[in-house]
Amino acid sequence: MPSLKAIRKRIVSVKSMEKITRAMKMVAGARLNRAQQRILAMRAYAVKTHEVLERCTARQEGADGSVAAPAHPLLVQRPEKSVLMLVLTSDRGLCGAFNANICKRAEREWHEREGRGQKVQLALVGRKARDYFRRRHAPVFHEFQGVWDKLDLDTARIVAKTLLAPFLAAEIDAIYLVYNEFKSAMTQRVVVESLLPVINDDNVLDFTEPEEHKHYCIDEFIFEPDRTALLERLVPMYVEISVLRSLYESSASEHGARMTAMDTATKNAKDMIDSLTLQYNRARQASITKELLEIVGGAEALKG
């Protein structure tokens, strides 16, 4: 049995750890509230942007039944022989299986696509993804640094611009996003979402709006100055918004996962403190009993 001093030292250590995990839980909770408000606002904007883009990219058939060519390079569809995947992880740990789930899903997608004869490259956000795929000698296209330090539209534009360059040069045929979609503080879902080419059927967002926010859709738009000029601005903006939304989703999921993990760690620390306290009391009681027996035994020996 450990000595009383060793048990006391361990109790103090676990109490210190409990204070740290409780503080980290509170910080993650505060950040989660801000991230949740941000992602909820962004989802509505992303849905409306997609609706407008969907109308602008509707199939246009000529009198002879032919379909008009895409009015923007990002709408061009090619056979997927070369694919780029943007993997979003965090820079820090202590958030449960958040990063492990993303990295394993991206690794599985990488090997499955290579098994189908596709060339796969990875663009990585977050130190956890960087370290994970470096150890596995993955084909890394680009590593983004400091994304989570300044998470805003300008940062999303930098990421989107880097991703768009090889697609516009026809070096890759498709781009996919691999990230954790935020559901709740305790639930995050790993998704693999198509980013490019912009395809209406594949990129439909499934975020349902409240009934009071729904509006009737207009079947026809009047484009001014024209459809091509509108798409020149709308399509890159849609890509930027999609990247920003995925970053917001991942950020909110990270804070939710960390808050849940720290809550579990705090509860485990309390249970450990209770167990160690019980062990300490038993050891102290045994020590006192032993001393009393020694005293009584010594007194009886002196009487004899």
Parse the chain into domains and list their residue ranges.
Answer: 26-55+70-259
Closest-CA residue to 80 (of 51, 119, 112)? 119
pLDDT of residue 187: 85
Residue 229 predicted with pLDDT over 60: yes
Please give the average per-residue pLDDT across 285-289, as a whole number. 85
| Structure confidence at residue 58 as a pLDDT band (50, 70, 90) | low
DSSP state of 64: T
What value, to the nearest 5°, has the Cα angle with vertex 46 and ends 176 and 211?
A: 125
What integer best gives the mean pLDDT of the chain?
Answer: 83
CA distance 90 to 95: 9
In single-letter form, the type of residue at position 57 comes to T
Q: How far is CA 303 from CA 192, 290, 291, 298, in A?
A: 85, 20, 18, 9
**Cβ atoms of 261 and 29 closer than 8 Å:** no
Predicted local confidence at residue 303, as pLDDT: 78
For residue 186, pLDDT beyond 60: yes
What number is the average pLDDT over the span 182-207?
73
In the chain, what's the furthest Cα-to-Cα distance? 124
Q: Token match 């942007």: residue?
A: 49
Give the residue with greater pLDDT, 189 vs 185. Answer: 189
The residues carrying an active-site annotation are: 95
Q: How many residues does the chain have?
A: 304
Quick check: 101 and 191 in contact, CB under 8 A? no
CATH top-level class of 26-55+70-259: alpha beta
Residue with tokens 């109490």: 15
Cis peptide, bond prior to residue 225, ω within 30 of zero? yes
Q: Residue 218: pLDDT above 50?
A: no
Contacts of 122 by beta carbon, 8 Å cutoff, 6+ apart: 84, 85, 87, 106, 110, 129, 133, 138, 139, 140, 141
Q: What is the pLDDT of residues 11-31, one digit of tens each?
A: 999 999 999 999 999 999 898
pTM above 0.85, yes or no: no
DSSP 3-state of 191? strand
